[in-house]
């Protein structure tokens, strides 16, 4: 299967560079390029890509954040994942995009292997949260609702089994399926089954949203800042 990617960035050189790298892979291709958020939304609706690789800040009123939010909220685009490009991994805009349903984020200085691996990871349904920035994002933004938003009520977790809750806690700590399996004495396929079951029950697009729900529901609490 060929992974279909939409690129959205106002910098022509970056788009050209990423496009060349992606098209050089046998298992992926760039199907469209956008220079602002409005165009990104229109082209996503036209081409229905597997992934929209999108700069969080682009010119116009409908910037990358607004476009990402609208793509993630559109039921007809449920199969399209959004991967955010940013120059600041602790940017509040990134946290807002994750709340809205984006699957993760990458710095614009990302290496070739990391970029291509990230695309495959996100299209496969996993999240991509930078370990160096996840704690800061959670502490500052993810544990609280965005403007006009609401905390996820604890009772929303009632449908989860005890093992699904355990797995969700470890997902929120940024652990991989293999690490979770080792911690719980389970198998990686078994962990993946629990993760997908929790996602289905909580109507989460991917692991990134499970992280947000885990903190906003109080299942996991941010660690106090170090003095």
Residues of the chain with pLDDT > 70, as a percent, come to: 81
Total-model pTM: 0.71
| Cα separations in angstroms, 192 against 111, 124, 136, 167, 181 | 27, 12, 26, 9, 9
* 17 and 110 both lie in a single domain: yes
Angstrom distance (rounded) from CA 103 to CA 114: 15
Residue 13's pLDDT is what?
93
Angstrom distance (rounded) from CA 13 to CA 56: 17
Domain coverage including residue 99:
3-136
Contact between 205 and 72 (Cβ < 8 Å):
yes
* 99 and 165 both lie in a single domain: no
The total of structural domains in the chain comes to: 2
CATH number at residue 71: 3.40.50.2300
* 69 pLDDT above the threshold of 90: no
CB-based contacts of 73: which residues, under 8 Å, 6+ apart?
A: 100, 101
Residue 75 in any domain: the answer is: yes
Where does a domain end: 85, 104, 136? 136
* 45 and 110 both lie in a single domain: yes
């Amino acid at each position: 299967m060929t992974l279909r990617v939409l690129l959205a960035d106002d910098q022509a050189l970056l788009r050209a560079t990423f496009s060349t790298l992606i098209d050089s892979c046998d298992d992926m291709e760039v199907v469209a390029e956008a220079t602002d958020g409005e165009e990104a939304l229109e082209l996503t609706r036209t081409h229905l890509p597997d992934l929209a690789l999108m700069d969080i800040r682009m010119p116009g009123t409908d910037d990358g954040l607004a476009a990402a939010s609208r793509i993630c909220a559109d039921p007809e685009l449920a199969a399209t994942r959004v991967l955010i490009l940013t120059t600041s991994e602790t940017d509040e805009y990134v946290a807002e995009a994750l709340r809205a349903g984006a699957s993760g984020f990458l710095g614009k200085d990302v290496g070739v292997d990391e970029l291509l691996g990230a695309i495959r990871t996100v299209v496969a349904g996993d999240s991509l949260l930078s370990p160096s920035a996840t704690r800061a994002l959670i502490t500052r933004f993810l544990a609280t609702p965005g403007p006009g938003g609401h905390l996820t009520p604890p009772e929303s977790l009632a449908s989860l089994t005890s093992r699904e809750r355990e797995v969700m806690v470890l997902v929120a700590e940024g652990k991989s399926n293999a690490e979770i399996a080792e911690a719980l004495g389970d198998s990686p396929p078994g962990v993946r089954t629990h993760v997908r079951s929790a996602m289905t029950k909580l109507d989460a697009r991917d692991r990134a949203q499970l992280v947000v729900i885990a903190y906003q529901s109080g299942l996991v609490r941010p660690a106090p800042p170090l003095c």
